[in-house]
Structure 1
Amino acid sequence: MVDLSVPSAARMYDWLLGGSNNFEVDQDACELLLQAAPTSREVALNNRWFLQRVVRTLAREHGIRQFIDFGSGLPTQRNVHQIAQEANPGARVVYIDNDPVVLALGQSLLDENEDTAILSVDMRDTDAIFAHPDLNRLIDFSEPTAALFISVLHCLPDSSGPEELVRRVVDRLAPGSFVVVCQLVSDDPQVRKDVTDLMLEKTGGNWGRVREKHDVESIFQGLIPQEPGLVDVTDWRPDSELQQRQRSIEWTEYGGLGRVPNPD
């Protein structure tokens, strides 16, 4: 049962991207968010373009054929499997989310694609994820895999251990695998407080907090950062079109791409 009286971060993100899989309660919450952080739409759009660029880079330049998208959110134009399979028709993608709307819409889009699956699992439950038959049908963990945590870890409170979650996943990946992480950060403590308070109230506590850059940097400990390192995702290998886009001001998505090293 979907509680349509409570906004969800996934549906709010969909609205900011110009999607239609959202409800009035999500739209109202977004209007309040735009008051607290007026360039939130730019943050969402820049993040979506980053996802497309980084997946294309992983598939084309690094030959990655396996992707696991943690907290994947609502399907929109140019999803991970579409980009990866354009570059490599045999690419396999597993989406993970426990939002009922995400699952319903995602499953309807993926039913005809045998190289994709969507798992109804809380992304924090790594034991259930890695034991899931659909994951093990599609992902060979003896080969390099890309694990994506794109604009999702800020939805987890500190008590859920976002850094530890990424570490548990990394420990399951073969050397030469890649991890993509970005999350919402701000240098302004008032923005961090205002947006965090707003999202906690509106989502009924289904939120973590807006963090700082050092919080993201700590997640990459033990990984080998790939060029250009950890940056505002707008600056992660931008193309000419993105260079013309408006930047966010109050907050940003910060992160990058890391490689799982070979064992010593």
Structure 2
Amino acid sequence: MSDDSAQQPGERIASHIAHNARVWNYWLGGKDHYEVDEQVGTMVTSMYPSIGEVARADRDFLGRAVGFLAGEAGIRQFLDIGTGLPTVDNTHEVAQRIAPDARIVYVDNDPIVLTHARALLTSSAEGSTSYVDADAHDPAAIIEAASGTLDFDKPVAIMLLGILNFVLDTDEATSIVRRLVDAVPSGSYVVLTHPTLELGGEGNEAAMKFWNENATPPITARTGAEVAAFLDGLEILEPGLVSCARWRTEGTEEGPLVAQFGVVARKP
């Protein structure tokens, strides 16, 4: 658990510093952010104009990936780490439209996310939705807390959308993924998105530097090879590691090429 998990959410909200969950909400057109988040978000947009497309593409990827997992793959349990602020078509909404008995655990340690999640992330009658206040750096605590809702003897989809980029040390990020994968059985999945300076994202380097000087938490980009290494030993599903806007868009309009990798992998 996060060291400050005993505090009330209001005591932990740093409204004078831009925070990723709130800035992301701004980029998605939401209203759950402060003036400082809008200021930083606007500046990043001026430096890297496609950031809004990245945010929307990441969200659309979530819908397609969860739809596949709850549908064709038959997954009924989802562990969504790095939830962010609730918006439309959250993981449980997509999953439970297809499988009303799906069980979802959201994980985040941002207090404003916690406040909104408790109010908005409600479940279908047949399924279950819960929220864990925990840090992505501590997978053991996440698994322990999530076990109250999820059965880790049955397949689980581990959702890591836009979260490993806040783990600056690549070895640590790799260890987090391995420890999570070790906790779930064969037939489980990992769903991952990650920003990159590849795929036309070279212009994002200056924007990331500005972010790290003016917002929290600090962020890092990674190459396709580095992201793929997180999934060593897993079966990467077609079409492989691609721009998240280009993952399984059959039958829908293919989105723009955005500098955000998206991938789904299965534990054999």
TM-score (norm 2): 0.89
2:172 to 158, 161, 165: 161
The answer to whether the Cα contact below 8 Å between 1:146 and 1:178 also exists between their aligned partners in 2 is yes
Aligned partner of 1:184: which letter? P
| Alignment pair present for 1:254 and 2:265 | no
Task: Name the CA distance, whole Å, in 2 between partners of 1:189 and 1:41.
Answer: 13
2:152 counterpart residue number: 141
The answer to whether the Cα contact below 8 Å between 2:92 and 2:123 also exists between their aligned partners in 1 is no
1:193 counterpart residue number: 205
Task: Name the CA distance, whole Å, in 2 between partners of 1:194 and 1:259.
Answer: 35
2:29 to 14, 18, 22: 18
CA-to-partner distance for each residue in 1:112-166, whole Å, 9 max, x for gaps?
666001111112111211222xx22221111111000011111221177111111
Aligned partner of 2:263: which letter? G
Task: Name the CA distance, whole Å, in 2 between partners of 1:60 and 1:27.
Answer: 37
Task: Name the CA distance, whole Å, in 2 between partners of 1:41 and 1:240.
Answer: 23
Task: Name the CA distance, whole Å, in 1 between partners of 2:179 and 2:109.
Answer: 19
| Alignment pair present for 1:46 and 2:57 | yes
Task: Name the CA distance, whole Å, in 1 between partners of 2:171 and 2:38.
Answer: 27
Per the alignment, do residues 216 and 190 of structure 1 end up closer, same or farther by CA in structure 2, a change over 3 Å counting? same
The answer to whether the Cα contact below 8 Å between 1:195 and 1:210 also exists between their aligned partners in 2 is no
Equivalenced residue count is 254
Per the alignment, do residues 193 and 112 of structure 1 end up closer, same or farther by CA in structure 2, a change over 3 Å counting? closer
Task: Name the CA distance, whole Å, in 2 between partners of 1:239 and 1:74.
Answer: 28
CA-to-partner distance for each residue in 1:197-256, whole Å, 9 max, x for gaps?
11211224x12312221111111111100111110011101155442x4443xxx11031
Instruction: Compare 22-31 and 208-217 and name the one that shifted more.
Output: 208-217
In the TM superposition, residue 193 of structure 1 has moved relative to its aligned partner by: 3.4
| Alignment pair present for 1:231 and 2:242 | yes
In the TM superposition, residue 85 of structure 1 has moved relative to its aligned partner by: 0.5
CA-to-partner distance for each residue in 1:77-106, whole Å, 9 max, x for gaps?
010000100110100000000000000000
2:20 counterpart residue number: 9
Aligned partner of 1:195: which letter? A
Q: Percent identity?
A: 33
1:90 counterpart residue number: 101
What SS does the aligned partner of 2:160 have?
strand
**Greater share of residues in helix:** 1
The answer to whether the Cα contact below 8 Å between 2:80 and 2:160 also exists between their aligned partners in 1 is yes
Per the alignment, do residues 159 and 240 of structure 1 end up closer, same or farther by CA in structure 2, a change over 3 Å counting? closer
| Alignment pair present for 1:124 and 2:137 | yes
| Alignment pair present for 1:71 and 2:82 | yes
Task: Name the CA distance, whole Å, in 2 between partners of 1:189 and 1:256.
Answer: 17
What SS does the aligned partner of 2:183 have?
coil
2:5 counterpart residue number: none
What RMSD over aligned residues (CA atoms) do the two structures have, in Å? 1.8
What SS does the aligned partner of 2:87 have?
coil
2:73 counterpart residue number: 62
Instruction: Compare 112-121 and 20-29 and name the one that shifted more.
Output: 112-121
Structure 2: runs of 5 or more not aligned: 1-10
The answer to whether the Cα contact below 8 Å between 2:197 and 2:205 also exists between their aligned partners in 1 is no
Task: Name the CA distance, whole Å, in 1 between partners of 2:18 and 2:249.
Answer: 32
Aligned partner of 2:210: which letter? L
| Alignment pair present for 1:109 and 2:120 | yes
What SS does the aligned partner of 1:61 have?
coil
Per the alignment, do residues 43 and 136 of structure 1 end up closer, same or farther by CA in structure 2, a change over 3 Å counting? same
Task: Name the CA distance, whole Å, in 2 between partners of 1:112 and 1:34.
Answer: 35
Aligned partner of 1:168: which letter? R
Task: Name the CA distance, whole Å, in 2 between partners of 1:207 and 1:115.
Answer: 33
What SS does the aligned partner of 1:43 have?
helix
Structure 1: runs of 5 or more not aligned: none
Aligned partner of 1:12: which letter? V
